Structure 1
Amino acid sequence: MTISMSNQTAVTEFILLGFPGSMTFYGCFFQLFCVHYLGSLDSFIIMLMAIDRYVAICKPLRYHSIINNKLVTLLCYIFWLFAAVIGLAMTLIAGILPYCGPNRVKNCFCASQAVIVLACVVVTLERRKGFSIAMCVHLFPLSVIILSYILIIRVVYLSANNGNLQKAFNTCTTHLIVIGLYFILRTKKI
């Protein structure tokens, strides 16, 4: 099966056809870009949610003046752009390498580390570059998230009202579950 390069939904078509066993070379790099772009974007959006929770709980009277549509839109554009740059960087790191022989990715999708090992040259430097970028992309948002929840816990415990603890717990529980599922499951791969 060959997927046309004019088809912008190569990854979706590949999945819908039931993983027919092969993907084009360029389709794999498109998928690599999508994997890293969307993974980075997830980290940034979860970080933005943690900042929103921090402002809502720690500065409730100023919430609407701090978190407004203009700021959220600007941050989303910045995160989309930054995630696209990261996805492009990861794709270029893998894309500039020479490939030869049977290129079979030993993974269910084309991620950077799975594709780089198929190159005909020593890829130690490229693997380190990719790993460094990935760690920065995931550790920076995780650090901001942890800091925001430490500050939330501090403000709630310094409050004299026990009802505040229950409200904060109810507000943050679902987000903490998402953070746990997203970041803890990612660290299991490393």
Structure 2
Amino acid sequence: MTGAATAGLSGDIRTQLVLASASPRRLDLLAQIGVVPDAVDPADIDETPGKAEQPHLYAARMAAEKAQAVATRRPGCLILSGDTVVAAGRRILPKAESEAEARACLDVLSGRRHRVLSAVTLIDAKGQARHKLSTSIVTFKRLHPDEIAAYLASGEWQGKAGGYAIQGLAAGLIRALQGSHSGVVGLPLYETRALLRASGYPCG
């Protein structure tokens, strides 16, 4: 679908919405509030944290830079991006790309609380950027080595921040959650809906 606007069923014209993410989880979450992007255009940017960069600043920067990267090639569209960071204290845990990396994350998270910072940026058709940040506190049970081994064998950790996915088997290992479940999954829906509505985009 091309062009800067789309006609709805009622004949109204709305600005096209582009999701600057390849995450299928974010698409599923948007569908929960009745939002289907007109296009998916993942941003390809350097996601290396800055030296001593604080986790909440890193999450906000990543969301903003992803949105801006896509906005430059899709003028006149609404650009929605998000970034989710798992932080143990001031330490930013990686998006696990290997079993050893996932194991190291789970060892750190076992039996303790950690923060999940989920940032959202929306750039409107005029180029104005709006930002929101959701902070959640997640507490894992103390993990037995057999539980870690079983979770690693599931493969759910692959590419996940902090080496786990709350929407999968890890839900049975999490003792408490304070904050936004959708934010921990990858896109805080309350904040996302607020940004979309502020831009005039219709959503549930």
TM-score (norm 1): 0.27
Higher helix share: 1
Query: Could you say which structure has the greater relative contact order, defined with CA pairs below 8 angstroms and 6 or more residues apart?
Result: 1
Higher strand share: 2
